[in-house]
């Protein structure tokens, strides 16, 4: 009996040792790849090298020519079936542990076709992530196509994963632009950029450590005239390994000015609502004013909102000082959420059917989070200091008012997910609001 | 034959030197705050106010319970209660020197409590591990290696730098083990020894509730003794009950005041919905042992003990050697303690310890892996050096984890490897003390954690240089002597058979 026990222990110990050794070797290998991988840039100045490095998938109606440092892709004929023509190139397989790919290009024709950049599994090309700019005669739109996760059968049919809002970045034709996709293996996230501006992120469920290819190209949609010049394709396995670190800042809106490197302002452009932003007359601060028009249909409107630029989420603290002048059937809100608006939470100072303003917590995570009225004393002098702290490691959101915590919530925004923080007004048709934003403090931990 | 013998611990002076250096090393790292530490320190402050109510501070922690419109600490109250007299003295000193509530003062208070309660506990349990393996026949170098491997090559290292209950509970469990073996209270009557066990056991349980499993196993071992006579059992039970009564009664009083009933545990009132959801399942979140949990605690790159402290792999071989050499009785006890605690830990829904280095709930049981580790390294010279090499690796992993981030991120058990994804890359980039949770502060602060070198203005890896200088300086004379004299005292002695030693 003792002998059997000894043998079992030795056997288990050997197996455990082998497994732990393997796990460490795999860890070292993955870490070395992550830390020492070298990127590359193709500028198409050497056609022979381009031909050897990339595998083409080009239908006969396309003409592709590398010359004078660019790759010219044109559609010269017709295949007869609209939407089937394409010129797509795939890099050689490489060890994929995350990194960033960029495609610099310009469109020469306004028509219905797509420019795409993405990743494909080398072993299973049906597993892919393509960031697509859908060009057309008006404003281009963006979308992510492919598959969430790397296992199981790939569903047939539409491979659209999500629409991406980046239209405002590209305004005209014949301008140089950049598409960017970054994959982070640790958080299994794909992040998308237009002209290096973060526009969306998504947990795609891909793993690092696979063999993958970079894919780029042009795809016809409606038997279109196509002319695209691709200036550069870049792959950097190091870039973006750390979160995007926008500087922390305190903004007191001196002179009422909105710094374009920090803020975007949004006004609801509708006849049924009126919103404005103006500097505070006798000191620092920004006055937000909005009102609904009585005649309009019921519903909440957002006359004016200002949002930070998107950033990759790390533990974040936001402090806001408000002086509330008027608040009737309206709310002042502070929101943190991802760019797709699939996960967001908001703390509102509302005044609808109660005599005094009160605090409301609401949001969305897969489904709407039931609004919760937060109990607390009335606002002294209608002046308040709000603090919102979110830690993606702990998934913990905490809200403090005048240095006392009033609410906490477990929430699913992930580390490095692209988010932005917005403050603004919301009004009902009969409502009006005016408040001075005295101070806004944004602090994000580096990690 | 071997020059390292001079680096071993020849006498009381060396023991003191090792203890002081170990404590300085633990004290060198301040890990910032977190919900767990906050919950404990808030209860201490509440007790100082003759209350149990942490409502004034609850906003800083998610580790809290809610009962009768009050927020309360959800942790076992032992550490918080032990911190009360220390905190009272600190309060008096604060008033003397005019320290306020600035964040630096709060950090200093948290740091000091962590050193006094958990750092010292880590040092004491390290020394006791040395004593225990010595009682099994370890010579000086084997004892030294066992101590270094335990004190700096296991989770005891990182968790002796934070105000959690695990390090303190580990020390108490070892004390109970030594009472059962007769190391402590050996001159007392059986009833007296049992009373001592009862007192220490109850203190362990009110420090970390899960340790009740191991205390139960040790209590059964004490009851059974060598003969298992009924009269012995009665003596042990009476003595144990008398010893445990004062603390368990105090604890029951605390529960009555805080949660309305002496049997209402803090974890049955957790406030955060996500914790409540899990605590509502099974017995306060404890279900049947899970394979995922066992894999996660033992082998996984995510929280695996054998992955993060690879020298403990040799403990499994050591068990086999120990069994072959015929140390059945103590082996049975040690193996039962480990298996019972492993199964228990894997049955808890948060077996990974949340944001943690390794499976922190398992820390109180780690000393029991040091014994079979010793039975491996004592086999031969190459066994010893293999043990030393793997222990060095473990020390490196624990050192980097302590220097970079003890609160390692939560992740997926089959995919994540915080050691290779976060700790080692950050360490080699010179990015240390990454925790951003600060004491009594909402939201992150980049300076929430630090080491003493950073406070002195040293940057990156240079901030760790004073520690290296300190250890080298302290052992310089021994190193020089070993190089000039060659092999001398302290060499391998023929160990007595384990069976002789264990027959106490």
Fold match between A38-236 and A249-444?
yes
Give the range among A140-154, B53-67, B486-500 with minimum mean pLDDT.
B486-500
Q: Give the number of other Cβ atoms within 10 Å of residue A422's Cβ.
A: 19
Mean pLDDT, rounded, of chain B? 89
The average pLDDT across B389-410 equals 95
Residue B98 CB burial class (10 angstroms; 0-12, 13-18, ≥19): exposed
Chain A residues 18-77 with a CB less than 8 Å from chain B? 19-20, 23-24, 26-28, 30-31, 34-35
Q: In sequence order, what DSSP letters do the residues of A23-58 get, joined into one string?
A: HHHHHHHHHHHHHH---EEE-S--HHHHHHHEEEEE
* Contact residues on chain B for A151, CB-CB shorter than 8 A: none
Q: What is the pLDDT of residue B463?
A: 96
pLDDT band at B226 (very low <50, low <70, confident <90, very high): low
* Alpha carbon distance A161, A159 (integer Å): 6
The pLDDT tens digits for B353-379 are 988 999 999 999 999 999 999 999 999
β-sheet bridge partners, residue A217 = A88, A116
The answer to whether the CB of B289 falls within 8 A of the CB of B346 is: yes
The pLDDT tens digits for B24-77 are 999 999 999 999 999 999 999 999 999 999 998 888 888 899 998 899 999 999
Give the range among A441-445, B112-116, B213-217 with minimum mean pLDDT.
A441-445
Among candidates B146, B332, B107, which has minimal Cα distance to B226?
B332
ipTM attached to this prediction: 0.86
pLDDT band at A48 (very low <50, low <70, confident <90, very high): confident
Mean pLDDT, rounded, of chain A? 85
* Alpha carbon distance B272, B281 (integer Å): 15
Q: What is the pLDDT of residue A80?
A: 65
The answer to whether the CB of A256 falls within 8 A of the CB of A286 is: yes
Q: Domain spanning A249-444 has what CATH number?
A: 2.60.120.200
Q: What is the pLDDT of residue B424?
A: 93
DSSP assignment, residue B100? -
Q: What is the pLDDT of residue B488?
A: 43
* Alpha carbon distance A348, A429 (integer Å): 18
* Alpha carbon distance A237, B359 (integer Å): 32
Distance, C-alpha A138 to centroid of its chain: 24
Q: Is the per-residue pLDDT at A189 higher than 90?
A: no
The average pLDDT across B186-200 equals 92
* Contact residues on chain A for B59, CB-CB shorter than 8 A: 398, 400, 404-405, 408
Among candidates A293, A174, A163, A183, which has minimal Cα distance to A236?
A183
pTM metric for this prediction: 0.77
For domain A38-236, give its CATH number from 1.10.150.80, 1.10.510.10, 1.10.10.10, 2.60.120.200: 2.60.120.200
Q: What is the pLDDT of residue B497?
A: 42
Pick the residue from chain B with its C-alpha nearest to A209. Answer: B415
How far are the Cα atoms of A404, B33, B235, B274 from residue B60, in angstroms, in the given order? 10, 10, 47, 17
Q: Which stretch, A285-294, A370-379, B152-161, has highest mean pLDDT?
A: B152-161
Report the residue from B301, B434, B444 with minimal CB separation from A443. Answer: B444
Domain ranges of chain B: 3-23+37-153+165-502
How close B316 gets to chain A, by Cα (Å)? 6
CB of B190 within 8 Å of a chain A CB? The answer is no
- Tokens coding A227: 């002319």
CB of B418 within 8 Å of a chain A CB? The answer is no
CB of A315 within 8 Å of a chain B CB? The answer is yes
Q: Who has greater pLDDT, B60 or A36?
A: B60
Q: What is the pLDDT of residue B292?
A: 92
Q: What is the pLDDT of residue B333?
A: 94
The H or E element that residue A368 is part of is: strand A367-374
Domain ranges of chain A: 38-236, 249-444
Q: Is the per-residue pLDDT at B394 higher than 70?
A: yes
Percent of chain A with pLDDT over 90: 30
Q: What is the pLDDT of residue B496?
A: 46
Q: What is the pLDDT of residue B285?
A: 85
């Amino acid at each position: 009996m003792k002998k059997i026990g000894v043998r079992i222990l030795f056997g288990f110990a050997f197996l455990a040792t082998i497994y732990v050794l393997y796990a460490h070797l795999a860890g070292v290998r993955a870490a070395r790849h992550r830390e020492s991988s070298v990127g590359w840039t193709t500028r198409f100045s050497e056609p022979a090298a381009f031909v050897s490095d990339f595998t083409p998938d080009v239908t006969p109606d396309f003409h592709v020519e590398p010359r004078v440092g660019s790759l010219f892709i044109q559609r010269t004929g017709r295949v007869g079936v609209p939407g089937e023509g394409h010129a797509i190139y795939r890099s050689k397989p490489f060890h994929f542990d995350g990194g960033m790919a960029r495609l610099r290009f310009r469109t020469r024709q306004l028509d219905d076709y797509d420019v795409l950049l993405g990743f494909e599994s080398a072993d299973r090309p049906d597993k892919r992530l393509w960031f697509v700019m859908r060009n057309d005669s008006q404003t281009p739109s963006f979308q992510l196509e492919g598959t969430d996760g790397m296992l199981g059968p790939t569903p047939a049919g539409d491979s659209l994963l999500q629409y991406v809002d980046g239209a405002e970045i590209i305004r005209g034709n014949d301008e140089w632009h950049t598409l960017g996709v970054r994959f982070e293996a640790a958080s299994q996230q794909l992040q998308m950029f237009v002209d290096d501006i973060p526009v969306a992120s998504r947990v795609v469920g891909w793993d690092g450590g696979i063999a993958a290819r970079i894919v780029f190209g042009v795809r016809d949609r409606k038997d279109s005239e196509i002319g695209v010049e691709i200036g550069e394709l870049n792959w950097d396995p190091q870039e973006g390994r750390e979160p995007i670190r926008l500087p922390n800042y305190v903004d007191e809106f001196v002179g009422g000015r909105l710094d374009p490197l920090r803020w975007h302002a949004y006004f609801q452009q509708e006849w049924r609502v009126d919103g404005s932003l103006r500097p505070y007359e006798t000191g620092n601060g920004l006055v937000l004013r909005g009102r609904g028009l009585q005649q309009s249909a019921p519903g909440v409107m957002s006359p004016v909102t200002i949002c930070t630029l998107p950033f990759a989420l790390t533990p974040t603290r936001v402090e806001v000082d408000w002086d509330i002048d008027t608040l009737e059937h309206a709310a002042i809100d502070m929101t943190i959420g991802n760019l797709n608006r699939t996960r967001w939470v908001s703390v509102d100072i509302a005044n609808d059917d109660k005599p005094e303003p009160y605090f409301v917590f609401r949001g969305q995570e897969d489904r709407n989070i039931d609004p919760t009225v937060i109990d607390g004393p009335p606002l002294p002098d209608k002046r308040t200091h709000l603090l919102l702290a979110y830690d993606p490691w702990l998934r913990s959101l905490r809200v403090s008012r005048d240095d006392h915590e009033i609410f906490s919530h477990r929430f699913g925004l992930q580390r490095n997910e692209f988010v932005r923080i917005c403050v603004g007004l919301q009004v009902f048709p009969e409502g009006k609001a005016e408040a001075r934003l005295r101070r806004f403090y944004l602090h994000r931990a580096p990690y | 034959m071997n020059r390292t013998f001079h680096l071993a611990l020849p006498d009381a002076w060396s023991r003191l030197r090792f203890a002081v250096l170990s404590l300085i090393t633990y004290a060198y790292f301040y890990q910032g705050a977190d919900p767990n530490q906050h919950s404990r320190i808030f209860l201490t402050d509440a007790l100082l106010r003759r209350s149990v109510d942490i409502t004034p501070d609850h906003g800083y922690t998610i580790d809290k319970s809610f009962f009768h419109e009050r927020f309360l600490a959800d942790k076992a109250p032992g550490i918080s209660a032990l911190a009360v007299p220390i905190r009272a003295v600190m309060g008096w000193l604060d008033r003397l020197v005019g320290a306020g509530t600035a964040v630096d003062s709060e950090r200093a208070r948290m740091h000091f409590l962590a050193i006094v309660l958990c750092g010292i506990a880590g040092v004491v349990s390290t020394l006791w591990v040395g004593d225990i393996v010595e009682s099994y026949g370890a010579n000086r170098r084997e004892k030294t290696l066992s101590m270094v491997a335990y004190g700096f090559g296991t989770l005891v290292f990182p968790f002796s730098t934070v105000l959690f209950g695990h390090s303190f509970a580990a020390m108490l469990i070892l004390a109970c083990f030594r009472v059962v073996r007769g190391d402590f209270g050996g001159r007392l009557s059986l009833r007296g020894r049992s009373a001592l066990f009862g007192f220490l056991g109850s203190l362990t349980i009110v420090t970390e509730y899960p340790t009740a499993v191991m205390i139960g196993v040790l209590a059964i071992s004490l009851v059974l003794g060598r003969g298992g006579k009924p009269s012995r059992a009665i003596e042990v039970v009476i003595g144990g009950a008398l010893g445990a009564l004062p603390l368990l009664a105090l604890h029951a009083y605390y529960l009555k005041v805080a949660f309305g009933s002496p049997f209402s545990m803090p974890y049955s009132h957790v406030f955060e919905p996500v914790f409540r959801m899990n605590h509502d399942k099974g017995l306060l979140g404890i279900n049947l042992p899970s394979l995922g949990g066992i894999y996660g605690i033992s082998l996984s790159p995510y929280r695996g003990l054998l992955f993060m402290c690879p020298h403990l792999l040799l403990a499994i071989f050591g068990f086999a050697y120990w069994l072959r050499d015929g140390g059945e009785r103590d082996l049975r006890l040690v193996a039962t303690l480990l298996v019972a605690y492993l199964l228990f830990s894997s049955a808890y829904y948060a077996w990974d310890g949340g944001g943690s280095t390794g499976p922190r709930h398992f820390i109180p049981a780690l000393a029991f892996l040091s014994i079979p580790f010793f039975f491996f390294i004592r086999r031969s010279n190459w066994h010893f050096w293999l043990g030393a090499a793997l222990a060095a690796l473990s020390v490196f992993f624990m050192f980097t984890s302590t220097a970079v981030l003890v609160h390692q991120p939560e992740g997926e058990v089959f995919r994540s490897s915080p050691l290779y994804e976060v700790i080692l890359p950050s360490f080699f980039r010179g990015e240390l003390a990454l925790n951003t949770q600060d004491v009594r502060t909402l939201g992150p602060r980049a300076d929430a954690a630090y080491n003493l070198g950073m406070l002195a203005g040293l940057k990156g890896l240079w901030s760790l240089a004073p520690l290296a200088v300190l250890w080298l300086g302290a052992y310089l004379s021994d190193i020089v002597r070993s190089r000039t004299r060659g092999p001398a005292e302290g060499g391998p002695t023929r160990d007595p058979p384990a069976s002789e030693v264990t027959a106490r």
